Amino acid sequence: MTVLKGPGATALYGSRAANGALLITTKSGARKDKGIGVSFNSNVSMNTVLRWPDYQHEYGQGTGRALNAAGEKYYSYGASADGGSTSGTSSAFGPRFNGQQYFQYDPNVEGQSATRLPWVAKPNNIKDFWRTGSTITNNISLESGNENGSVRASLTHSKNEWIMPNTGFERMTAALSVSQKVSEKLKFVAKVNYTNKSSDNLPATGYNNQSIAYFMTFQNPNVDLSWYRPIWKKGQEQVDQVHPFSSFIDNPYLIAYEMTNGVKSNAFLANMAATYTINKKFDLMLRSGIDLSSEIRKQQRPYSSANYLRGFYKEQNIQDYEINSDFLLSYKDKIGSDINVTASVGGNAMSTNYNRMDASVIGLVIPGVYMLSNGVGTPEVVNIARNKKVNSLYGTASFAYKNKWFVDVTGRNDWSSTLPVQNNSFFYPSINTSVILSDILQLPAAVSFAKFRLSAAQVGNDTDPYKTSKYYGTSPFPGSGSVPTLLHNVNFKPEISTNYEAGLDIRLFKSRLNLDLTVYSNTTRNQILEVPMDPTTGYARAVLNAGAVRNQGIEVVLSGSIIKNKNFSWNTILTWAKNQNRVMELAEGMEGKQDIGYGGNATIQARVGGTTGDIYGFGFVRSPDGQIVYNTTGLPARPQEIQYIGSAYADWKGGLRNEFTYNNFRFSFLIDGQLGGMIYSQSHHKMMEQGKLKSTLAGREENFIIGAGVVQNPDKSYSPNTKKVLPVEYYGDYYRRANVESNSFDASYLKLREARLEYNFPKSILGKSFFKQLSVALYGRDLLMITSFPIFDPETAALNGSTILPGVEMGQLPSSRTIGANITVKF
């Protein structure tokens, strides 16, 4: 694997490499020994939930307001001799678990129990839904080769069972790589990769009642998980589900086993290249490749689900391909005896085609039969097509003076079909220079090597298709179309990012201690964004070029060989990076702010001087000395305007890796994390509002809370708040959905990312067996985490369904801890 940092990589790889490029060179069949080499690798891993919210199991279901004749809190599933029903709420402000008995839900009668039952907590009624997941992967490869060519073939099978029941996938991958030297001047290389992947059910995510995250939020401490396990009411299979407490919250086993999201996909990736050596100075490479995928998705929603009382079925058929063809003419020579020159000119033609057909029916004639022909009405069909072409010409030139001074110059011009005709051509150059300081300066003896580098580069970028003209959309109604909701733009320009970078690479004590330091500044202008519009204009969004955003930062890599001798070695590497994001200008007409995204009541909003990850929302009204102001009801006063809450971006990120080798044993571990950043949590709001977390226990025994803060007096002075309020009222208002401040948290975390112990069997043990190499390893990933974030994992909290919105958590699913074993055999 080769890492190309920064925009200097874009001449060869285009705007996709704006932040650098990872070049992965797959294995070839090159082999020292004669005959066919065989390698086998087997990997088995187990997954469990890494971390849980701090659920409370001291109080059960109830609103906190219902009292019986004796003036005490009570519980009753439906109306009973004890009083009216208290089971219709999702809140857990009911009576304390203290050995008492109430009329409760009886799964045998699917209703109220005939007698009072013990009022006890079910502490594992969320955790027990999840299981230990597993992944088994086996790979076998064959390879052979000689001085004129090589061939390698491999087959990989993976079977995954995820931690949520009835989820996972199965994948089969076949790969073939062939190279052949036809003559002294001509060489061919071809690679083919085919992947088949299928899943009966991929888990839904996000804050919605089709996601298991919704059930986890609303599950009450007194409810037994097994009550849901039958899924269907007796005699009502596939018609009416068991969900005793709310028709809006679906049965978790219904979500897992009946509300499925199936997918079957086939992906084909192939490329062929021919390199012809014209003479000692010139060679020509011609290459073409295709990335083709076909995917069928099926979405099933059964009868009685909250959103579809009579069921729902949807099919998606997606065809997607990308074709790239390019040439590269390369030149190598010397100018005099001191300057080496390498130059290339090339071109690329890229074409993408995306077609999707969605067909769905709302309402099924026969319950449990998922076919488009089983819909109560004609299927609604929508077709989506996206096509794009980009043609490019580029050139590079590298000069090396006495292998001490180096200069690289690149330039690329793209012509994109997604931009307006008058602006569809854009050029972006770069210049990179470096000098080996240790070869030209007299440095201290401790310095083994020192290099300074400096670069300036620009990167151009286009956008998705169909933003330059007015396009009417398809409509599910025959003979009709839909008016566009996107206001097109006939004059927008390509994005241009300008990057400046300087770096220093120093190696000390014969490369036992190494420092790689990089500082950079990158400014992006004319970002192509879709911004919200006033609905009265007839459009929901408009295409604009949005001002300028600057990113400045520093990256440090410190590595060293702490101990190095015949039998034992200790190598370590420390990485640290800090990036400062700043909005320099906004798009014209944005009136000082630009909304980037929404989640719950949090808004990611860009303002000049701020960042593109700034979180805005309602917070607390505060007195001049910073105390929370309460109103006369004892609840926090509500502000009139939203305010800045914090930035989703971390102050810095870093990691530390250590590797120890003793004879044939190797042990390594990696710790990484980040400091700073902010996350608004919708899940926290709802669980606090409902009394599900331990943070809501304060005030329960007294049955009142006095909020810490002040009230404003008629004369505008302030005095301490003394008003008592019920816990259910206090937590419901203090942590209400609109209060972004009280539901936002520091996103800092520290993770034990990986630990691995490996043993390579020495040749003295393998002897004259047919094994050429044998190694076994035990490993773990994401083993431990330290964080103050109250839900599952701040690192993965930004995914809401299919949308990634940094700084906002909406119905997060648990992240997992992985423990596994690996064996590799070569013969």
Express each pLDDT in 785-808 by its tens digit: 999 999 999 998 776 656 678 899
pLDDT at position 206 is 85
pLDDT at 539 over 90: no
Do the beta carbons of residue 496 and residue 429 sit within 8 Å? Answer: no
pLDDT at 639 over 80: yes
Lowest mean pLDDT among 443-452, 640-649, 671-680, 794-803: 794-803
pLDDT at 726 over 60: yes
pLDDT at position 215 is 94
pLDDT at 31 over 60: no
% of the chain exceeding 90 in pLDDT = 81
For the segment 239-262, the average pLDDT, to the nearest whole number, is 94
pLDDT at position 208 is 87
pLDDT at 678 over 80: yes
pLDDT at 405 over 60: yes
Give the position of tokens 């659920």: 55
Q: Which residues contact 307 (CB under 8 A, 6 or more apart)?
A: 209, 210, 301
For the segment 674-690, the average pLDDT, to the nearest whole number, is 96
Q: What share of the chain is helix, strand, coil (3-state, %, to 5)?
A: 10, 55, 40
pTM of the model: 0.91
Lowest mean pLDDT among 338-342, 343-347, 530-534, 582-586: 530-534
For residues 162 and 131, what is the distance between their CA atoms, to the nearest angstrom? 8
pLDDT at 91 over 60: yes
pLDDT in tens, 263-284: 999 999 999 999 999 999 999 9
Longest dimension (CA), the chain: 104
Direct distance between the N- and C-terminal alpha carbons of the chain, in angstroms, rounded to an integer: 25
pLDDT at 406 over 90: yes
pLDDT in tens, 343-372: 999 999 999 999 999 999 999 999 999 999
**Nearest alpha carbon to residue 529 among 465, 482, 463, 599:** 463
For residues 187 and 276, what is the distance between their CA atoms, to the nearest angstrom? 7
Taking all residues of the chain, what is their mean pLDDT, rounded to a whole number? 92
pLDDT in tens, 208-219: 888 999 999 999
- pLDDT band at 23, cuts 50/70/90? low
pLDDT at position 543 is 87
For the segment 524-535, the average pLDDT, to the nearest whole number, is 83
pLDDT in tens, 687-715: 999 999 999 999 999 999 999 999 999 99
What does each C-alpha distance from 91 to 98, 217, 389, 392 come to in angstroms?
A: 18, 10, 54, 60
Do the beta carbons of residue 362 and residue 370 sit within 8 Å? Answer: no
pLDDT at 34 over 80: no
DSSP 601: T
Higher local confidence (pLDDT), 336 or 391? 391
For residues 444 and 450, what is the distance between their CA atoms, to the nearest angstrom? 11
**Nearest alpha carbon to residue 102 among 85, 124, 127, 122:** 85
For residues 104 and 181, what is the distance between their CA atoms, to the nearest angstrom? 79
pLDDT at position 793 is 94
pLDDT at 28 over 90: no
- pLDDT band at 2, cuts 50/70/90? low
